[in-house]
């Protein structure tokens, strides 16, 4: 997402029910969400002017807030309408969409039950970065030092800002070593996910993916599982030990940003992006651009 800093961008952000210039969408330095990570967000993508599975993303945003013990002061319909109106006002068709909700600056302490809840939505241009033939070369991943925590210690079903701190550290560490990203193990030492995407493996025509017990069951993840099963492919959700990566033939990531991205390396393990990864890349592209795709329910 290289380009001008966000506070230097033109356009508008929907902020607490009003459309304001990018540069004026400000919060106070003593905002609770900044100090204590009392914030939830979504990453969404618009294709041909329509946000793919917008309703599901909005519902997850609202549920994430409830898990963090606050209620977003807008209905799902109001958030969806604001998102669609913002895209029109910005005249964007291929775009990234970032809604976020957080506790405000009325009080600063661990407890902030009466702080105002703020909500904002920003959109910016996001074209497809890679041609299919470039993606099929596969990206290189490291294995992260930090692990996804025990679900008894974090609200792992919320897309909460604080949970991404170890993801940022892990991705930075991987990039310093020349990798594109990192695979994170879970607290028991099994394969979990990448820092911002779910992971899949292929062996003998069968797809294997970790059970989402300590990380988000991504909307793209569920979509791709449905597409694979529509193709008659077997998808096995299970515990995957790191050493099993030695025997897998293909590997790919899924996510709003990643879409379907083949992987060529995970640490010492090597894969060859193949026909299943390629087929699901094409199937996903067709799915998000199909007529009425914005309203398609997850499988």
- Between CA 136 and CA 263 the distance in angstroms is 8
Residues of the chain by 3-state class (helix, strand, coil), percent to 5: 30, 30, 40
Rg (CA), the chain: 19
Residue 292: per-residue pLDDT? 65
| Residue of 159, 171, 177, 203 marked active site | 159
Residue 88 annotated in active site: no
Model confidence pLDDT, tens digit, residues 164-193: 999 999 999 999 999 999 999 999 999 999
Mean of the per-residue pLDDT values of the chain = 95
Model confidence pLDDT, tens digit, residues 193-210: 999 999 999 999 999 999
pLDDT bucket at 294, cuts 50 / 70 / 90: low
Question: Which token pair is 3?
Answer: 């380009």
Specify the DSSP class assigned to residue 215. S
Contact criterion met (CB below 8 Å) for 126 and 90:
no
What average pLDDT does range 122-131 have in this prediction?
A: 82
Model confidence pLDDT, tens digit, residues 24-36: 999 999 999 999 9
Phi, psi dihedral angles at 151 (to 5 degrees): -60, -15
- Between CA 94 and CA 69 the distance in angstroms is 34
What average pLDDT does range 198-224 have in this prediction?
A: 98
- Between CA 287 and CA 45 the distance in angstroms is 13
pLDDT bucket at 118, cuts 50 / 70 / 90: very high
| Enclosing H/E stretch for 254 | strand 250-255
Phi, psi dihedral angles at 39 (to 5 degrees): -145, 145
Contact criterion met (CB below 8 Å) for 132 and 259:
no
Model confidence pLDDT, tens digit, residues 226-269: 999 999 999 999 999 999 999 999 999 999 999 999 999 999 99
């Amino acid at each position: 997402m290289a380009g001008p800093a966000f506070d230097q961008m033109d356009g508008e952000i929907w902020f607490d029910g009003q459309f304001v210039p990018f540069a004026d969408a400000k919060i106070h330095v003593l905002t609770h969400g900044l100090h204590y990570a009392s914030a939830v967000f979504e990453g969404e993508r618009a294709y041909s002017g329509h946000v793919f599975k917008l309703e599901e993303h909005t519902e997850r945003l609202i549920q994430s807030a409830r898990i963090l013990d606050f209620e977003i002061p807008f209905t799902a319909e109001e958030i969806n309408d604001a998102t669609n109106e913002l895209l029109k006002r910005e005249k964007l068709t291929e775009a990234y969409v970032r809604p976020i909700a957080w506790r405000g600056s009325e009080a600063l302490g661990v407890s902030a039950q009466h702080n105002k809840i703020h909500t904002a939505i920003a959109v910016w241009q996001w074209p497809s970065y890679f041609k299919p033939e470039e993606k099929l070369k596969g990206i290189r991943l490291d294995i992260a030092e930090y692990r996804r925590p025990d679900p008894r210690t974090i609200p792992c079903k919320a897309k909460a800002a604080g949970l991404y701190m170890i993801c940022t550290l892990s991705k930075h560490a991987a990039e310093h070593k020349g990798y594109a990203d990192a695979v994170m193990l879970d607290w028991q030492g099994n394969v979990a996910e990448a820092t911002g995407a779910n992971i899949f493996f292929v062996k003998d025509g069968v797809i294997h993916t970790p059970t989402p017990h300590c990380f988000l069951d991504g909307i793209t993840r569920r979509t791709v599982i449905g597409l694979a099963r529509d193709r008659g492919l077997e998808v096995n959700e299970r515990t995957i030990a790191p050493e099993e990566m030695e025997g897998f033939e293909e590997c790919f990531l899924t996510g709003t940003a990643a879409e379907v991205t083949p992987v060529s390396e995970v640490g010492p393990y090597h894969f060859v992006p193949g026909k299943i990864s390629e087929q699901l890349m094409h199937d996903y592209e067709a799915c998000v651009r199909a007529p009425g795709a914005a309203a398609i329910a997850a499988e």
